Amino acid sequence: MFQHMFTSMNEMLDEITKQYPQASEQERMAYLRQVAEMKKMSDSFIEQWLDFEEKVADFQECIASDQPVTVTTSVMDNDADPIGQQAKTNLPVEAYPCSMADLAIPEEAEVLVNKGQGYYNLFMFSHAARLFHDAISIAPECNLARLYLGMSQMHMQNWQEAQRQFQLLIVLSDFPKWLALGYNALGCIHAVHMNIAQAEKLFRKAYEVYPSFTDSLNNLKSCQDTPGQLSLYFGSTELCCM
C-alpha cells in the first residue's frame, strides 16, 4: 500500500512540475495546495514510522533481559518465492483485497455519507457534495466519501475540485476499482480541457488497473475517433449499486 501511495505521489509531483511553468495563476495556486497536502501526508507517515521504530526498539530492550529473542525484518525479492509470486501475478484483479478505508464508513461520518448517497441518487449533486465534504472533514480516511465527492463535482463541472479529489483518491486507495474510477475521471477532466494525449494515457491506465471497467475503453475510443465533440463516461453508474 505504501509503495503504491508514494509511487502515485511521485507521479503526481512529476506531472505538476511539468505543468507548473505554463499554468495560470489560479492553476499554480491549486498546484501549490496539492503539493502542500502531499507534503503533509508524507510527513505524517514519516512521524508514524519513527514512532513505530521507537516502539520496536523498546520492545527489543524489554525482551532482551528475559530471553534471547531476536526480532528481524526482511524484504523478499521477486525470486525468493517463485510460487507465491506467480500466484499473486495470476490473481484476477477483482480478487485483490482492498483496505477497510476503501469500503468502510467510519461511524462518525456514516449519517453524512448515507444522506449524501441519497441526494446523489436523486441527482441533487450540490446537496450531496456538501455532505460528502463534511464527511471527509470528519473522516479524511473515508475513500468512499471522497469518491462520491469527486463524482458529484464532476456532475457539477467543477473540474478543478474534482481533479483534486481524484488525485488524492488514487494516492490513498489501493483498491483496483477505485483506482480505475479515479484515473478515468482524471482522464475525462484532461479531455474536457483538450489535453487529449494525457487523457488517453489515463484511460489506458484505468483499464490496466481494472479491465472489468469498460468506460475507460469507451472514452479512449472517443478521444481517438471523434475529431469534434467528445462523448465521455465519468463512471458514475458504477456508484448506483452501492
Q: Domain holding 138: CATH number?
A: 1.25.40.10
- Clarify whether residues 159 and 179 are in a common domain: no
For residue 95, pLDDT beyond 50: no
Cell representation of residue 80: 525468493
Residue 93 lies in a domain: no
- Clarify whether residues 180 and 168 are in a common domain: no
Percent of the chain with pLDDT over 70: 69
* Among candidate residues 174, 193, 209, the one where a domain is terminated: 174
Q: Which domain covers residue 9, as residue numbers?
A: 1-65
Please report the DSSP string for the chain in residue order. -HHHHHHHHHHHHHHHHHHGGG--HHHHHHHHHHHHHHHHHHHHHHHHHHHHHHHHHHHHHHHHTTS----------TTT-HHHHHHHHHS-GGGS---HHHH---GGGHHHHHHHHHHHHTT-HHHHHHHHHHHHHH-TT-HHHHHHHHHHHHHTT-HHHHHHHHHHHHHH---HHHHHHHHHHHHHHHHHTT-HHHHHHHHHHHHHH-TT--HHHHHHHHHHH-SSS-----SGGGGTT-
More confident residue, 46 or 71: 46
pLDDT given at position 156: 93
- Clarify whether residues 41 and 13 are in a common domain: yes
- Clarify whether residues 156 and 186 are in a common domain: no
- The rounded distance, in Å, linking the Cα atoms of 189 and 211 is 21
* Among candidate residues 44, 65, 86, the one where a domain is terminated: 65
Number of domains in the chain: 3
pLDDT given at position 134: 95
pLDDT tens profile 33-61: 888 877 777 766 666 666 666 676 666 66
Residue 12 lies in a domain: yes
Q: How confident is the model at residue 194 (pLDDT cuts 50, 70, 90)?
A: confident
More confident residue, 179 or 3: 179
Residue 233 lies in a domain: no
pLDDT given at position 101: 56
Percent of the chain with pLDDT over 90: 31
pLDDT given at position 242: 56
Averaged pLDDT, 185-199? 90
Residue 111 lies in a domain: yes
More confident residue, 94 or 85: 94
Q: How confident is the model at residue 70 (pLDDT cuts 50, 70, 90)?
A: very low
- The rounded distance, in Å, linking the Cα atoms of 76 and 90 is 18
Residue 86 lies in a domain: no
- Clarify whether residues 185 and 150 are in a common domain: no
pLDDT given at position 59: 66
Residue 57 lies in a domain: yes
- Clarify whether residues 152 and 187 are in a common domain: no
More confident residue, 168 or 237: 168
For residue 240, pLDDT beyond 60: no
- Clarify whether residues 161 and 215 are in a common domain: no
- Does the pTM of the predicted model rise above 0.75? no
Average pLDDT, rounded, for the chain: 77
Residue 219 lies in a domain: yes
- Clarify whether residues 179 and 169 are in a common domain: no
Residue with cell 473522516: 139
* Among candidate residues 48, 65, 82, the one where a domain is terminated: 65
